[in-house]
Amino acid sequence: MNYGSFFIYSLTLCFSSVLIAQNDHVIKREQMVKTQLQARGIKDPLTLFSMLNVPRHEFVPKNLEEHAYRDGALPIGSGQTISQPYIVAFMTETLKLKSTDRVLEMGTGSGYQGRGTW
């Protein structure tokens, strides 16, 4: 194997592991929406779309990333937590937001709810 082939092989391995990890997060988000949100009565299409597409794992510490889509709050440091997915969806749906609305999230949380969940 020459240097060029080895380089391409290495890049292929690197990108495939990234795609597998991303795919795993997509599957976990789909399960979260189905079992935690829709099963509890969240029906607003925009809320469900947002919860399905916002990468919750990017709002938690790396060592807790595998737990990002579980049914519970997670610590994010400084005594703060990222809220349980159902609570975020419930609060968002309750606001009955339109695509033209703007929301200012107040507090010292992760910013997860404020990032495009309407």
Nearest to 118 by CA among 88, 98, 104: 98
Using the structure block, give the residue that is written with the tokens 């609570």: 87
Task: Give the chain's length.
Answer: 118
Contact 41, 56 (CB under 8 A): no
Residue in 5, 10, 17, 83 annotated catalytic: 83
Residue 78 appears among annotated catalytic residues: no
CA distance to 5, 26, 49, 108, per residue, from 56 (Å): 37, 10, 13, 17
Catalytic residues: 83
